[in-house]
């Protein structure tokens, strides 16, 4: 039987981030615009994919010099573990309702506003939300 160990209110808040390359060739990020909830952020994503050539020009400052504004930044990480001198990659199962299938994916998620300045914290949060270590006997490890 499934047991809920914790529950988190899905209150993701985000802001758009403008990224451009400065004169020294270093990418700079600036948080812009008002806060937005998950549905607003997802609405930007539904507008369709970005033209990759236009994106490269904008990021390199060759189109208006303003860079490019992203509305839904996220993080992904390759998580590995070692057992009996073997290294394993940890994947997360995603059930895709629209395609009626399941896939194995990297641990990933959108970055909440409070983690925009430090994406590593977003990665740690995603790992804690998506990976539950269990023993061979089915007990949750570390609890």
Which tens digits make up the pLDDT trace of 48-106? Answer: 777 888 888 877 766 556 778 888 788 899 999 888 999 999 888 888 888 899 999 99
Q: Please give the pLDDT value at position 143.
A: 46
- On whether the CB atoms of residues 73 and 12 are closer than 8 A, the answer is no
Across residues 101-129, what is the average pLDDT?
87
User: Does position 1 have pLDDT exceeding 60, yes or no?
Assistant: no
C-alpha–C-alpha distance, residues 109 and 124, integer Å = 11
Share of the chain above pLDDT 90, in %: 12
User: Does position 34 have pLDDT exceeding 80, yes or no?
Assistant: yes
> In this structure, what token pair is assigned to residue 105?
């994916």
Strand partners, 103: 94
Q: Please give the pLDDT value at position 10.
A: 65
Q: Please give the pLDDT value at position 101.
A: 93
C-alpha–C-alpha distance, residues 117 and 115, integer Å = 6
Buried b or exposed e, range 57-69, using 16+ CB within 10 angstroms:
ebeeeeeeeebbe
The Cβ-side half-sphere exposure at 54, using a 13 Å CA radius, reads: 5
Q: Identify the residue whose tokens are 């060739």.
A: 25
Q: Please give the pLDDT value at position 65.
A: 61
Q: Kindly report the average pLDDT of the chain as a whole number.
A: 82
Kindly tell me the burial class for residue 121, based on how many C-beta atoms sit within 10 Å of its own C-beta (0-12, 13-18, 19 or more). Answer: middle
pTM of the model: 0.65
């Amino acid at each position: 039987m499934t047991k809920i160990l914790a529950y988190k209110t899905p209150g993701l808040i985000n802001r758009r981030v403008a990224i451009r390359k400065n004169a020294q060739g270093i990418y700079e990020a600036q948080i812009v615009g008002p806060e937005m909830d998950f549905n607003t952020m997802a609405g930007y994503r539904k507008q369709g994919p970005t033209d990759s050539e236009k994106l490269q020009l904008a990021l390199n400052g060759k189109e208006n010099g303003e860079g490019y504004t992203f509305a839904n930044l996220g993080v992904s990480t390759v998580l590995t573990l070692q057992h009996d001198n073997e290294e394993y990659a940890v994947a997360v199962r995603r059930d895709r309702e629209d395609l009626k299938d399941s896939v194995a994916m990297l641990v990933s998620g959108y970055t909440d506003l409070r983690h925009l300045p430090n994406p590593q914290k977003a990665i740690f949060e995603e790992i804690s939300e998506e990976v539950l270590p269990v023993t061979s006997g089915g007990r949750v490890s570390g609890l």
